[in-house]
Amino acid sequence: MTDLVSNKPIPVQERLIMALDVPNIEQAKHLVTQLGDAVSFYKVGLELFMTGDYYELIHWLNVQNKHVFADLKFFDVPETVARAIRVLSQHGVDFATVHGNDAIMEAAAKAKGNLKVLAVTVLTSLDQGDMKDLGFDCDVPRLVLSRARRALELGCDGVISSGLEVPALRAEVDNKLLVVSPGIRPVENRPADDQKRVVTVEQAFRNGADYIVVGRPIRDAADPRAAALEVQAQIAAVFDGRA
Catalytic residues: 73
Task: Compute the distance between CA of residue 178 and CA of residue 112 in angstroms, rounded to an integer.
Answer: 15
In terms of DSSP bridges, do strands 41-44 and 95-98 run parallel, antiparallel, or are they unpaired? unpaired
Q: Which of 107, 108, 122 is nearest to 162 (CA)?
A: 122
- What does DSSP assign to residue 184? B
Task: Compute the distance between CA of residue 178 and CA of residue 94 in angstroms, rounded to an integer.
Answer: 13
Backbone angles phi, psi at 137, to 5 degrees: -95, 55
Task: Compute the distance between CA of residue 104 and CA of residue 19 in angstroms, rounded to an integer.
Answer: 25
Task: Compute the distance between CA of residue 21 and CA of residue 113 in angstroms, rounded to an integer.
Answer: 26
What's 63-110 look like in SS3? HCCCEEEEEEEECCCHHHHHHHHHHHCCCCCCEEEECCCHHHHHHHHH
Task: Compute the distance between CA of residue 235 and CA of residue 99 in angstroms, rounded to an integer.
Answer: 28
